[in-house]
């Protein structure tokens, strides 16, 4: 029987949990948050929005279907640490059998420190009562007093620009569409030809899925979209491609002037980590783009749009993280089950003169969507590409395409 190595999670308020080492050994510091999704741990691990955070999964068992090469949302995992009650040692899934690894192996391979065997319900209740706070997971320092001190001295997320740590370094084309059972992730032939030229002969021959743009009343036209990478998830890009967009991804620091020189039909503002307020360079670019091009923002992109409109954002007590958040569309009265991952929100009173409220969270009535009264921009706080509904929010990509179709 394998001997379990002890590990400790210590929170800045002095709370200590004793458990077992899971994943890589060592020590890590970050803001401790919880995610209520029952599945999707692989997407959580690789979402750049979790930069600076230690994530606790509230659902008891994690890792039962392993980690496969296809379902990553970025080129590497971004969480600072991972907390689970019961990790599955022997995953079983047909996709796992095709080159996958166990969750424990994946964390070890990527040097992510984790802890298992603690009471994750008690941890979640602590965060709900006291708020998200800094914490430390360690397998090398098992002194609770020392670890609490380290957590107390951690700078936290407020005022830190984490976007520059996760954004791409250079612009690039994205040609991959949504996953299908028959062909996996297909590629749009037009972009594949461009990629073939730029990569010296490498190109995909996989047929693309039918673009949603053809069903959006734009006669199959493909629209040129510039997507800002504030920590963008790959499935957002796949949805844009399959909705009828030719996508170029640009670094977060790209100026509005440089974007306009590319003459896109529309601009997309991605998700990303941390506090939106210090990301002022992006706010300035967004100000200059709104009114000149159709703009669609998700999550951090939504918050940055709110700031660009002259509004304010605030840090939430413990945020929204999970695949079961109810959101009401105020225009239709329809309720969507949404996937979310954010710890900051837009103050509606600060932007109500510049934008219209379109969506609200039914748990706490926080802002979940904004739009321009004349239809030139819109944004949502949640993640339509994550498909928890599973298709409740797919219309948002269609709306963006329709907006570009109007010119």
Give the bridge partners for 133, in sequence order. 32
**CB-based contact 119:92 (threshold 8 Å):** no
CB 139 within 8 A of CB 113: yes
Within its chain, how far is the Cα of 379 from the centroid?
15
Q: Which residues contact 195 (CB under 8 A, 6 or more apart)?
A: 173, 175, 202, 203, 204
Q: Catalytic one among 73, 134, 176, 385?
A: 385
Closest CA to 255 of 344, 171, 346, 195: 171
Residue 385 bears catalytic tag: yes
DSSP 3-48: PPPEEEEEETTS-EEEEEEEEB-SEEEEEEEEE--SS-HHHHHT-G
How far is C-alpha 26 from the geometric centre of its chain's CA atoms? 26
Q: At which residue do the structure tokens 């001295």 appear?
A: 153
Scanning 86-242, the segments in alpha helix (DSSP H) are 103-109, 120-130, 144-153, 163-166, 189-198, 234-242
Q: How far apart are CA 66 and CA 45, in angstroms?
A: 13
Assigned token pair, 384? 């339509």
CB-based contact 193:203 (threshold 8 Å): yes
Q: Tell me which of 302, 342, 372, 383 is the catalytic residue.
A: 383
Burial class (CB in 10 A: 0-12, 13-18, 19+), 223: buried
Which two structure tokens, joined as six digits, stand for 75? 């080129």
CA atoms within 13 A on the CB side of 393: 30
168 is catalytic: no
Q: Are 68 and 40 in contact (CB under 8 A)?
A: no
43, 176, 277, 299: which is the annotated catalytic residue?
299
Between CA 404 and CA 264 the distance in angstroms is 10
DSSP secondary-structure letter at 212?
G
Please list the active-site residues: 299, 383, 385
């Amino acid at each position: 029987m394998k001997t379990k190595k002890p590990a400790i999670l210590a929170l800045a308020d002095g709370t200590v949990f004793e458990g077992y080492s899971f994943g890589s050994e060592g020590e890590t510091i970050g803001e401790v948050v919880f995610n209520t999704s029952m599945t999707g741990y692989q997407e959580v691990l690789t979402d750049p929005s979790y930069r600076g955070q230690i994530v606790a999964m509230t659902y008891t068992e994690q890792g039962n279907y392993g980690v496969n090469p296809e379902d990553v949302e970025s080129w590497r995992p971004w969480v600072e640490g991972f907390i689970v009650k019961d990790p599955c040692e022997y995953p079983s899934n047909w996709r796992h059998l095709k080159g996958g690894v166990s969750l424990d192996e994946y964390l070890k391979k990527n040097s992510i420190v984790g802890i298992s065997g603690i009471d994750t319900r008690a941890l979640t209740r602590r965060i709900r009562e006291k708020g998200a706070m800094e914490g430390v997971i360690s397998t090398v320092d098992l002194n609770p007093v020392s670890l609490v001190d380290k957590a107390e001295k951690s700078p936290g997320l407020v005022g830190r620009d984490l976007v520059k740590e996760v954004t791409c370094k250079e612009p690039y084309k994205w040609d991959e569409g949504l996953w299908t059972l028959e062909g996996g992730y297909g590629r749009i032939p037009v972009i594949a030809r461009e990629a073939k030229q730029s990569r010296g002969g490498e190109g995909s021959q996989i047929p693309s899925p039918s673009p949603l743009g053809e069903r959006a009343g734009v006669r199959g036209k493909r629209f040129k979209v510039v997507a800002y990478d504030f920590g963008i998830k790959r499935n957002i890009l796949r949805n844009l491609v399959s909705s009828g967009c030719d996508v170029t991804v640009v670094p977060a620091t790209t100026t509005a002037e440089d974007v306009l020189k590319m003459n896109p039909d529309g601009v997309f503002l991605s998700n990303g980590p941390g506090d939106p307020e210090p990301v002022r360079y992006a706010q300035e670019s967004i100000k200059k783009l709104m009114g000149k091009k159709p703009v669609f923002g998700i999550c951090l992109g939504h918050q940055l749009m709110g700031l660009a409109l002259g509004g304010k954002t605030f840090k939430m007590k413990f945020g929204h993280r999970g695949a079961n958040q109810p959101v009401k569309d105020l225009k239709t009265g329809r309720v969507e089950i949404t996937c979310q991952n954010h710890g900051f929100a837009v103050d509606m009173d600060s932007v109500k003169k510049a934008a219209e409220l379109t969506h609200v969270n039914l748990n706490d009535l926080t802002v979940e969507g904004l739009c321009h009264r004349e239809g030139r921009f819109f944004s949502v706080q949640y993640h339509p590409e994550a498909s928890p509904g599973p298709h409740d929010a797919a219309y948002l990509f269609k709306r963006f395409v329709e907006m570009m179709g109007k010119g």
